[in-house]
């Protein structure tokens, strides 16, 4: 039997498969593992969100069980348009410039399928969300990793992109607030990205999955679509997963240029039937509810961040204070040759799971990502175990 194809053979394994395998083995052997690796929120959604879904399910006037419209339920698209106007003062047409998604991960992967031909280059800021790397592997395109360096506050040096890369590049992807570093954007950076994209006729993919998870009241993220002239070459992705503690519910959306939205829709109509209608109606009510649903989550992650930073203060693990996201990016002790070596040692000797930076791309090496998905007491215990092990 001939199984698989060249695309499957070329696809790299999931970056954290090795760590997850070791974690599962430790759990099976009876270790009390504290898992701060994958960004899988431990908090439940606000009870009102479950109420929204139940009311949608119980609505006998609407047949939510049937196939949804390919382009999404109108009330959800209109709620997304209201959110963009209220939150960013950006006008998007709910008919042609918005598309509901089964989480932003599937939307980004299918967008690559719709736009990357063989020899096309996708410029991706690195370190990055690992799903970008796999999605490019599934497409026919190739990858150029644009370094995000600590010395530049994890913002790209656009002038350092080689000319031959720009000549073959089809798109550029940016993600702020950034996963995994927790770095944030500036308006000037977005203007520079748009100027570069305009000069070289690039599509801009903006991933704002963490736009509402600011950990400081002095910072609020902006949308790339706020930049004048951006919409005509931009598609922006948003996810409900982390902000509303509902990653398993699979809900997100894309907004931007109608042609780019239409191209993504064409791929989706051949691959899926869209989001469960009751879920879309729930999403509409979540967005209309505003900051009241988000603020308690922000406060929780902010407290957890501060606890973690305080506990790590006198250790050899050097964390970088994030202004947003649910992660802390930390430089590993110099005595370790790689982030994978360090992560394995931490799991073996302390029962704590950290995500090795190498899993986030070439420029993640030398760091680990710590997810703030444990209660404060468990965060303190995790650091105490690592200290006791002598690793930090």
Do 96 and 127 sit in the same domain of this protein?
yes
Do 124 and 237 sit in the same domain of this protein?
yes
**pLDDT of 339 above 90:** yes
- Residue 141 domain flag: yes
Give the end of a domain, one of 244, 275, 290.
Answer: 290
Q: 78: pLDDT confidence band, cut at 50, 70 and 90?
A: very high
Q: How far apart are CA 334 and CA 310, in angstroms?
A: 21
| Mean pLDDT, residues 326-334 | 97
The number of CA neighbours under 13 Å toward the Cβ of 353 is 26
Do 133 and 269 sit in the same domain of this protein?
yes
| Mean pLDDT, residues 17-44 | 89
Give the end of a domain, one of 275, 290, 305.
Answer: 290
Do 274 and 298 sit in the same domain of this protein?
no
Phi, psi of 241 (to 5 degrees): -55, -60
Do 256 and 340 sit in the same domain of this protein?
no
Phi-psi region of 299 (alpha: psi -120 to 50; beta: other; left: phi over 0): alpha
- Residue 146 domain flag: yes
- Residue 2 domain flag: no
Do 206 and 334 sit in the same domain of this protein?
no
- Residue 5 domain flag: no
Handedness of CA 376, 377, 378, 384 (dihedral sign): positive
Q: How far apart are CA 187 and CA 185, in angstroms?
A: 7
Q: Which of 131-140, 171-180, 261-270, 292-301 has the lowest mean pLDDT?
A: 131-140
The boundaries of the domain holding residue 261 are 47-290
Burial bucket for residue 81 (CB in 10 Å: 0-12, 13-18, 19+):
buried
CB-CB contact of 328 with 302 (8 Å): no
Q: Which residues of 217-239 are buried (b: 16+ CB within 10 A; e: fewer)?
A: eeeebbbbbebeebbebbbbbbb
Do 35 and 53 sit in the same domain of this protein?
no
Do 31 and 110 sit in the same domain of this protein?
no
Nearest to 127 by CA among 182, 177, 206, 180: 180
Q: How far apart are CA 111 and CA 248, in angstroms?
A: 22
Do 197 and 240 sit in the same domain of this protein?
yes
DSSP state of 153: T
Handedness of CA 52, 53, 54, 55 (dihedral sign): positive
CATH number of the domain at 358, please.
Answer: 3.90.1150.10
Give the end of a domain, one of 265, 290, 315.
Answer: 290
CATH number of the domain at 230, please.
Answer: 3.40.640.10
Q: In the predicted model, what is the mean pLDDT of the chain?
A: 95
Do 121 and 33 sit in the same domain of this protein?
no
Do 64 and 165 sit in the same domain of this protein?
yes
Q: Structural domain tally of the chain?
A: 2
- Residue 345 domain flag: yes
CB-CB contact of 123 with 144 (8 Å): yes
CB-CB contact of 154 with 176 (8 Å): no
CB-CB contact of 146 with 124 (8 Å): yes
**pLDDT of 361 above 90:** yes
Q: What is the pLDDT of residue 22?
A: 83
pLDDT digits (tens, 9 = 90+) for 60-69: 888 899 999 9
- Residue 1 domain flag: no
Do 217 and 182 sit in the same domain of this protein?
yes
- Residue 4 domain flag: no
- Residue 332 domain flag: yes
Q: 38: pLDDT confidence band, cut at 50, 70 and 90?
A: confident
pLDDT digits (tens, 9 = 90+) for 266-313: 999 999 989 999 999 999 999 999 999 999 999 999 999 999 999 999
């Amino acid at each position: 039997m001939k199984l698989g194809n060249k695309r499957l053979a070329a696809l790299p394994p999931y970056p954290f498969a090795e760590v997850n395998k070791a974690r599962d083995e430790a759990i099976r052997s009876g270790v009390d593992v504290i898992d701060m690796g994958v960004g899988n929120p431990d908090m439940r959604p606000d009870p009102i969100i479950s109420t929204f879904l139940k009311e949608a399910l119980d609505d006998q006037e609407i047949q939510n069980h049937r196939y949804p419209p390919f382009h999404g339920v109108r009330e959800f698209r209109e709620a997304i348009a209201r959110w963009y106007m209220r939150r960013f003062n950006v006008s998007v047409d709910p008919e042609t410039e918005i598309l509901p998604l089964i989480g932003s991960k599937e939307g980004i992967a299918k967008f690559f399928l719709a736009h990357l031909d063989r020899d096309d280059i996708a410029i991706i800021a690195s370190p990055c969300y690992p799903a970008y790397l796999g999605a490019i592997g599934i497409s026919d395109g190739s990858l150029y990793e644009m370094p995000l360096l600590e010395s530049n506050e994890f913002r790209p040096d656009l002038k350092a992109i080689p000319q031959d890369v720009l000549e073959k590049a089809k798109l550029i992807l940016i993600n702020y607030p950034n996963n995994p570093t927790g770095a944030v954007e500036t308006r000037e950076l977005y203007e520079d990205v748009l100027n570069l994209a305009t000069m070289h006729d690039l599509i801009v993919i903006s991933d704002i999955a963490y736009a509402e998870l600011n950990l400081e009241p002095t910072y609020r993220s902006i949308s790339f679509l706020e930049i004048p002239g951006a919409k005509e070459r931009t598609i922006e992705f948003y996810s409900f997963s982390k902000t509303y503690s509902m990653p398993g519910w699979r809900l997100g959306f894309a907004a931007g240029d109608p042609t780019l939205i239409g191209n993504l829709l064409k791929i989706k109509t051949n691959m899926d039937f869209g989001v469960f209608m009751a879920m879309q109606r729930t999403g509409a009510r979540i967005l209309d509810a505003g900051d009241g649903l988000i603020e308690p989550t922000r406060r929780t992650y902010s407290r957890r961040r501060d606890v973690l930073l305080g506990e790590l203060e006198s250790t050899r693990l050097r964390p970088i204070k994030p202004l947003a996201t649910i992660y802390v990016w930390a430089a590993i002790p110099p005595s370790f040759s790689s982030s994978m070596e360090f992560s394995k040692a931490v799991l073996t000797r302390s029962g704590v799971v950290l995500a090795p930076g190498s899993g986030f791309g070439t420029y993640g090496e030398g760091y680990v990502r710590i997810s703030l998905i444990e209660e404060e007491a468990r965060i303190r215990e995790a650091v105490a175990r690592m200290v006791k092990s002598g690793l930090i």
